[in-house]
């Protein structure tokens, strides 16, 4: 693993029943970057993220995270993971959930107030999770991932269902975290979010189409925007 890489994935294959979900995926995620994982729904983004956090059974290949093989117990408190389906307790308030996960992670209790403020949930802190909107629920899950001092944040479509202002605030937070040295892998199926990333992983049908910077992708494909760059890569693959 190179010293500048937070994650290295090599020849990763994942199969579910007879279907090959990830097809020999290899990529590198630089430390302190905001790397976007983009592609249509069902292309394998979530499976790749699960593989990186060590909760996915793989057929072959290797994943190294923060200098250790994925699944190493020493990584547990160094990675924050927010899934598409928030794993929080519906019968607890936002603050109660965060206090509980603080205890589990052995994070400072002061983190509760910090993460509530960072994700814009101050007005909802005493609200039962069962009564939250979809966007508020996603932010609660993100707040859990921010507890402690994670060196790697893996966020599965964290901005889905959020209004444009809040989306912008969260992307500002992501860049601030990256400036502190935190590495972020953020998935999305909305191509306009690609412009907010320092590096991009573009996926389709379980395969990686590109692992590059936004500027290099535009230059390589000779296109004016990243959605057209993605389409150009898809067409080139289909023609090969």
d(CA 171, CA 169): 6
Q: What is the pLDDT of residue 75?
A: 93
Average pLDDT for 11-37:
95
Provide the whole-model pTM. 0.91
Q: Are 175 and 153 in contact (CB under 8 A)?
A: no
- Residue 40 located in a structural domain: yes
CATH number for the domain harbouring residue 226: 3.40.50.300
Q: And the tokens for 161?
A: 């269902």
- Residue 164 located in a structural domain: no
**34-38: strand order across its sheet:** 79-82, 152-156, 183-188, 34-38, 199-204, 207-212
d(CA 117, CA 210): 35
- Residue 229 located in a structural domain: yes
Q: What is the pLDDT of residue 7?
A: 97
**Mind giving me the DSSP string for 35-86?**
EEEE--TTSSHHHHHHHHHT-S--SEEEEEETTEETT-GGGTTTEEEE-SS-
Band of the pLDDT at 160, cuts 50, 70, 90? confident
- Residue 197 located in a structural domain: yes
Q: And the tokens for 142?
A: 């993100």
Structurally, the chain folds into a number of domains equal to 1
- Residue 142 located in a structural domain: no
- Residue 10 located in a structural domain: yes
Which structural domain range is residue 234 located in?
A: 1-73+187-240
Q: Are 60 and 11 in contact (CB under 8 A)?
A: yes
CA dist 195 → 31, 58, 143, 215, 227 (Å): 19, 31, 24, 9, 10
Residue range 78-103, pLDDT digits in tens? 999 998 887 899 999 999 999 999 99
**Is residue 2's pLDDT more than 60?**
no
- Residue 204 located in a structural domain: yes
């Amino acid at each position: 693993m190179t010293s500048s890489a937070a994650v290295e994935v090599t020849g990763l294959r994942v199969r579910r029943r007879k279907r090959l979900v990830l097809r020999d995926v290899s990529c590198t995620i630089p430390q302190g970057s905001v790397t976007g994982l983009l592609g249509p729904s069902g292309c394998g983004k979530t499976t790749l993220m699960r593989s990186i956090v060590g909760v996915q059974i793989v057929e072959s290949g290797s994943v190294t995270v923060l200098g250790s093989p994925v699944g190493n117990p020493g990584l547990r408190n160094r990675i924050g993971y927010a899934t598409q389906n928030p794993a929080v307790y519906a019968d607890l308030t936002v603050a109660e959930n965060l206090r509980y996960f603080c205890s589990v992670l052995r994070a400072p209790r002061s983190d509760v107030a910090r993460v509530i403020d960072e994700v814009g949930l101050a007005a909802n802190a005493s609200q039962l999770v069962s009564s939250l909107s979809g966007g508020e629920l996603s932010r609660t899950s993100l707040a859990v991932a921010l507890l402690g001092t994670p060196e790697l944040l893996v966020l599965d479509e964290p901005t889905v269902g959020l209004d444009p202002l809040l989306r912008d605030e969260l992307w500002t937070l992501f860049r601030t975290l990256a400036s502190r040295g935190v590495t972020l892998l953020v998935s999305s199926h909305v191509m306009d979010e690609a412009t907010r990333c320092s590096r991009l992983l573009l996926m389709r049908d379980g395969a990686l189409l590109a692992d590059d910077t936004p500027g290099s992708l535009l230059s390589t494909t000779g296109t004016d925007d990243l959605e057209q760059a993605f389409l150009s890569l898809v067409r080139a693959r289909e023609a090969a």
